Amino acid sequence: MFQFNHIVAALGATATLSSLSGSASAQPDGPSRWLMPTMIEARASMFMPTLNYLTFQHMDQMFATRTVDAADSAWELLENPMSLDGDYVILGETYDLEGALERTRTNALVVLKDGAVAYETYRNGSGPDTRFLTFSVAKSYTSTLIGFALHDGLIDSLDDKVTKYLPEMEGSGYDGPTVRDLLRMRSGVDWEERYEFGSETQLTQVHDNSLVAYRYRWCDYAVKESVPGETGPDERFNYATLDTSVLGCIVERVTGRTGADYMAEKLWKPMGAESDAYWIMDGPEDVGREFFGAGLAATARDHARFGQMFLQGGMANGEQVVPADWVREATVADEGYEPVEPGAPIGYQYQWWTDAGSDVYMALGLHHQFIRVDPANNIVIVKISYTEEPVGRDQENEELFAQITAKITQ
């Protein structure tokens, strides 16, 4: 087996760091091993289209990480294999199953029907033990941690102002919105979520300085740089990874623990996760924190367990893990909050996307990562991808999911 370090070195030779100013020696204090220019360049190049099938599988070799411990006894998923063979029509072109998976740039696919594994496949050197970074799928996990903190009485109300729990946010853009506003991506903070890495967009500048160069943390930016936008809290949907990062900092503050430790105790172990997960950090472990907006890496099967647990109203491995009222509140759009804008096919509740035409809800991530929960058909689909484009290929995936659903429900 080849060494991933060879890939890291190759990435370092071609990285673009346009929004980083200064030299590596100007980085924050911390272990010198995280300040090596090669590693900075490798992190900057993790999205490289010709290699992201691989980098998305090996983020723990590029970033500082924090482990989420697995359960001592895993939730054993039943097996009920079903054939998905046949034709698939994707954007008007016909493929067999392997062709459809290649067309949609699939690394892993796990399908649960009636709580049992109906289909499972891994591609491009990955396998059941591979922990994939699935980007904004992490947001649905961070939302769940907020739900636990609320249930534990550590958060009094979702209608509390953010500054009640993070007083350092006073005077920032987060001085005004509530916890619920952030869960709904309606903070009113001035933020543009535009994925043009290597450019000078707002998102890219924070990404490069926080995740790539370890200069500051996401919540540091929220405190020092965030400002109110043109609309007030709860007036308009505006997808913002910064909102989720602040939610994660609330979890840390009210629990007095790391997000990884709290997640292990409240979710990962009780759910019966089979494998350790990990969070990539927005800085070396002694100064950084979990990248709550998009930094969780887990196996496809454990993502499927998470989706199945929500499908079962928070029940996993015979235990009520997530409060049932939170599952419903987090995944069923309230009146007036779906769709996200007039004519859109999707809505948004508490860091879960909702299908405006059905009861389907989804955890979605950059480069087309999915935990798709379909209550009407009792199906959970986990799809882990490595597309060249960060966004914009939703139709082909929806067509694939519809045809998979048809084949196993006919």
Q: Which residues are catalytic?
A: 136
Number of helices (H), then strands (E), in the chain:
15, 16
Q: What tokens appear for 391 in the block?
A: 């966004």
* Those residues with Cβ within 8 angstroms of residue 392's Cβ, 6 or more apart along the chain or in another chain: none
The whole-angstrom separation of Cα 17 and Cα 41 is 7
The whole-angstrom separation of Cα 191 and Cα 134 is 22
Q: Write down how long the chain is.
A: 410
The whole-angstrom separation of Cα 190 and Cα 320 is 39
Distances from the Cα of 33 to the Cα of 63, 76, 144, 210, 289, angstroms:
11, 39, 33, 16, 18
Cis peptide before 339 (omega within 30 of 0): yes
Residue 263, SS3 per DSSP: helix
DSSP state of 358: S
Residue 363, SS3 per DSSP: strand
The whole-angstrom separation of Cα 73 and Cα 81 is 23
323, 293, 306: which is closest to 373 by C-alpha?
306
Strands (E), 259-360: 277-280, 296-298, 315-316, 319-320, 346-348, 353-355
CA 65 to chain centre: 15
The whole-angstrom separation of Cα 117 and Cα 97 is 17
Are 274 and 306 within 8 A, CB to CB? no
In this structure, how many other beta carbons lie within 10 angstroms of the beta carbon of residue 2?
Answer: 8
